[in-house]
Structure 1
Amino acid sequence: MAAAASDVVDAGAVLAEINEDFLCCAICLERYSDPKILPCQHTFCKKCLVQLAEKGVADTLMCPTCNRSVKVPINDLQSNFFMSSLLDKIPEKLVAGTPKVCEFCEENEVTSICVECQQYSCTPCTRVHKKTKTTKSHQVLSVDEYQETKNKKPFAVQSIQYCNVHTGNQLKYYCDTCQTPICMECTIIDHRVPEHKHRYIKEVADEYSDELKGKVRKLKVKADEAETSKMSAKAACDKLKTCCKEEEAKINKKTDEILEDLRRQIEVVKQKKERLVDELKTEYTARVKNMEIKVDELEMKHGNIVSTCSYLETLVQHGNPGQILSAKQVYQQRIDGLIAMETKPQLIPDVIEFRPHPGRDDVRMLATNACQQNCSLDNVPKQLIKGDTATLMVTTRDKQGKQVIPRQVVEARVTKPDGSSDDIKVQDNNDGTHTMMVHGEIDGKYKVSVTIDNQPTPGTPAQIHVIKGLVKTIGKEGSGKGEYNKPVGVTIDRNGDIVTADRGNKRLQITDKDGNYKNITKIEKIIPVDVCIFNDKYYMVDYDNKQVVISDMNGHVIKEFSENMKHPQRIAVRPADGMVYVSDWNGLVYEKTNKHGHWIRKYTTNGDYIKSFGGYGSNPGQFKGPSFMAVDNQGLLFVGDYNNNRIQVFNTDDEYMYSFKCSGKGDGQIYAPRGIAIDNEGYVYVASSNNKLQ
């Protein structure tokens, strides 16, 4: 923002404040000539950029300062108006003094100067200049007045910016709608009200200058954070080097001890020593390189922040409103990005440790610290049938996310529904994974806690709901309210109500969890066999028309899709990313004659086909009649494998995890399950072919 009227600044002080390097191009080391701003906010002479592009071997111009590619043609780059104005305000003539002869007629003695044109003129030429139509509005001062103003407030006598569209018109307004400075004629022709909102340019510039000052303060804090983090990263790098030397010494010492006891195996031991040291150095090199990359990133961030701060401070202190707002569009996104930029990465000192193999006097293991925050407990089932056993797995990783053999001890404990608790045996697989078994002895919620070096693993304690089987039966056969005719697909809406695809009645029926009727939705020409809900929309399988239909909650059709569908049976949508799963199997054809249709089709929320997985068979991940499906709160996909008499569970990468059985024809048991849903409390609802929901 330009200096206020009350500020009296000495010209020499202003010149001293603006470093000469600030006005020089980093390529030619001369004062800028037609300065252009690159997308990375660095400024160079246009001619230097042209020469640089001609010398380059690639089609893309690279910024000489930060090496970022510049995809915008040089002629389309925005000019740095603020830099150009500074160059105009600090020319050699400021030092050399006022010329003696009029710069118009080159005959008479100089008496005045036009602030806008920056031209010295004699008295006759001044009269003509004031009467000329295009220049009569210009500010003309006597030489003495100009010198006095320049000495006290050098940036108060700056040239006025004019409209690029309407030549000669001063930029006096700012269009909030288009985010650009405009002239009076622009407000009448290209930026009319009420479609466009105008304000005085100085009012907007003052407002934005205040905003810039606040952001500059934040950027300075970020710069300090980046500098501190950079020093911490360097210190961590030095510590890692020392650690490597100490651990190499341990390896050498242990090796010497082994060689004393096992002289006949000296060559074997030497080979193992060299291998282990190579592993250590390889690990050290990789980690140091990673740390050095962080140092380089922090130096780059620090440089960008400091450079931007310097430019913005100069812009705010010495730029006029037009210059400040001309830079707004260029710098706004850049400033917000720098403020949001991460400048305090987590720098945890790491350890690389040699350890003998447990129970053997041999050089075999190179263990490192596991980062508890990156370790995980996997393969946790949401539910477990009473009497079954679940196999859980702990994966240990370092701070880079790499799977490692941990130096720390991995322990686990289970708390049962009756309040008792026991330690769980943890099997170390010597590959960065540990397995444990949880047996569902009694029904209720089990809690599994995992600690690494007495520190809890993220996501624990994990809960496993052990269930007895059938919880409740609702509904009966019929076509009335609360009655069903071949209920197939079922889901739970956000109110906790049960939505059932009542195929025989050609409708969707909604009841509460106790079976009390609430609503019925019918859609013309569609016979729903399965339904799920995503983003307040019904996703229904229309088996008869071999398609998926999307409708709103009132039954109005929004979209239909059917790519790669042969005999769509069931549908499920994963809430986290909107992936749509459709089971494809003709349940009316005997399975031995239909071995090529047992697939799960995967689509986007808009119906774009992604892939298929499964296929005919009894192995894990294969199907003999994939029918009902559901997705739990963890994003796990439950698929009913109809003729294999099981339910298979897949992770978020569509990989097989585990399976459990769900069958029976007797009283209180589920017969031919065809639909499934899981509520927020972990209860599983299954639609049975005997006209009941269980």
Structure 2
Amino acid sequence: MTAQLVSPRAAHARNLRENEEAVECSLCLKNFTKPKILPCFHSFCLKCLQDYVETNAHNQKFACPLCACECVIPSSGVDELQTNFYIKAAQTKLKIAANSPCEVCDDGSRAERSCIECEQNLCTNCSRGHLKMKSSRDHHLVSLTEKSHAGEGQVTSKSFCEKHKGDELSFYCRKCSVPICLRCKVTVHEQHTTEDLADVAAEIRVLLMDMLKGAQGMLPKFHSHLNDITFYNDHLEKEREKLKDEIISQTKKLHEKVDDLCRKMMADVEDEYCVEVARLGTRRHMISDRTTSFSTQLHSANQVVCYGSDADIAWNRDNLAEQLQKMASLVTPSDMIHLKMDFIPSDDVTSAGVGDLIGALKKIRDPTENFKVEEFSAFSVDNSFKAVNSVCPADDGSAWIALGWTADAHLFYRHGVKVKTQVVSRTIDCIGRDGETLIMSSNEQKVVGKPGPGFNLDDFATFPGYNPRGLAVTPNGDVLICLAQSAAFQDYRPNHRNKVVRLNSAGKMINEYGADGKLFMYPLRVAVNVNGDICVSDCRKQKVIIVKKTGELKTEYNGSPGEEERRFEPRGIACDARGHIFVADGAGHAIHMLDHTGRFMRHVVTEDQGLFGPYSVAVDRDDYLWVGCRDADIKVYKLNWT
């Protein structure tokens, strides 16, 4: 089934409508069931929150799924978190028909309120009696009519003294900064300055409303950033077509011999814009998530400040003020970095050399985005001294890990918690993923397979005379496999014809790269970039070799500039959604970052940061860099792009 495409503007408008209504849980995307509100004002279904905390909690704390604000798990579990009665009130009002009668008395009075706990509609008199009864005095009543003025919200409830269980909190002690009942006022707080709780709550509301207005001023800035991304995306499309038209117009003046130069230049334009659009999509996703998070925060904060009970407002004054201050001073994303390209036609097509007949593309790309690397976790897969051959991230913050040609596939969360170990029917060299299906190469058994029932490896493809090593799955489901005629790169011989092959999803051969033995010496690992380039680490040739999908050599990388004398041993290789290429340098104890053209950008992490013997590398969809090292060690780093 073909997915329906939604324009960025339409998706943005839909998100805003959903956020304003705040009727859906952000985890299950369904109407709230037993909604719980976190200290950051974000709300989720109880069951959704329990499932999320079970997977992501650490040291009795968890990060909010929307804004990553750290939350403490109550002693008795997630169920103890505060219920969001404001959402339950909205749901109640949607279910009740207009002019519904009171369900308690028999005189036909119109229902003015509904009890959330009892799910009963009540008239005005019955509402008063309901809040006086011992069994229901702390229930929450939602108004079925519009609120009359600020402070009389859609939810009414009473709060009672913990010491004097039957006495309502109606006073506020200025010295102790707590709500108190009448008996507390004339006993423990007799010598303290006290005031009516309603008056103090009104005073606090005025203060918090000013802070809420300051926080609301941040939302247009997020919307502005999203609009900038949309306009820039449109600009990219127009400029791309403009450049193509200029190139085609100029090439019509030239001889047939320059047609090949034209095609190469067009491919260069597509290459640059493909990477730029991928980077733009990643940024749009980040800004959209932040906007959604902030908008739902504002909605919940507005409900708490405007409609919270007097006692809740008084009890939580400091927490509310602190959170709103944080929201008002939130740092918005930095300005985007733009790609600029111009086509410069040749002035003289009669006397210019063949290479200069058409002209040249002028590329101006701003410096690298602000980029910071933070170590997130470090752990050992087991107590062996084996190297981590392969790391294959999943979509839930976990990754499959294979150690030095064993038959075990280990699943770990990124913070080091082990999920399980599966014993595969054959030894594993490299693990890849096609959607939800794993695919593995077995060097010793000379086969590539997919785990079936019992994790037995069902044959996907066999290669007589070759040892399958690294593999990667392309976005359209093709499988790229490194093939070598020796089990280890130390056994390479000049007459070997080592290569990389492309198979379709059914295991049928589509293409071979380097079958003549000239392109590669020992292709160890392979990755696919966002523009379709095939990136291969050749540890025997000591180079990273980048080949276009057609098989044409694009470039070779043999180590960072200025370190030519230092041995470069590329092992693991991975690509991210922005077009960057990450290379594990086993001899240099470093992770190199290249741009999509194979140009060195920087070392992401080095031996100075405690990295030793990296063998494998992977980047998950949340921008966490997984590095597999010697001695069964894993290091995980957060790549922070702003």
TM-score, normalised via structure 2 length: 0.38
The answer to which structure, 1 or 2, has the higher relative contact order (CA under 8 A, 6+ apart) is 2
